[in-house]
């Protein structure tokens, strides 16, 4: 089954940026507005990243590798920051 993939983190540092680029996320450098977090990389949204997960086992492996998720009907969000 195909899902849209996102992550909750609204700004990120270099290490996390490199980690998520493997999944297909893209970022822009925004050092001007990083006063709060000190993390200059901002995800480009909406950036359509798709992932194919066809079994519960694949979903469990994804969670083991990437951490907690929020799963909706057609969307997976990696829960790496605060969500409302």
Comparing 36 with 57, the larger pLDDT belongs to 57
Q: With bands split at pLDDT 50, 70 and 90, how would you rate the model's confidence at 37?
A: low
- How far apart CA 30 and CA 17 sit, in angstroms, is 13
The whole-number average pLDDT for the span 41-57 is 85
Q: Nearest-CA neighbor of 6 among 55, 45, 40, 63?
A: 45
Q: What confidence score (pLDDT) does residue 35 get?
A: 60
> What confidence category does residue 30 fall into, taking pLDDT thresholds of 50, 70 and 90?
confident
Assessment of whether the complete model's pTM goes beyond 0.85: no
Higher-scoring residue by pLDDT: 61, 33: 61
């Amino acid at each position: 089954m195909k899902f849209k993939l996102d992550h909750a983190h609204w700004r990120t540092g270099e290490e996390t940026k490199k980690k998520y680029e493997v999944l297909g996320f893209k970022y822009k450098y925004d050092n001007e507005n990083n006063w709060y977090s000190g993390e200059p990389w901002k995800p480009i949204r909406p950036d359509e990243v798709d992932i194919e997960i066809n079994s519960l086992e694949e979903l469990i492996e994804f969670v083991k590798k990437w951490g907690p998720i929020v799963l909706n009907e057609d969307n997976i969000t990696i829960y790496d920051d605060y969500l409302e």
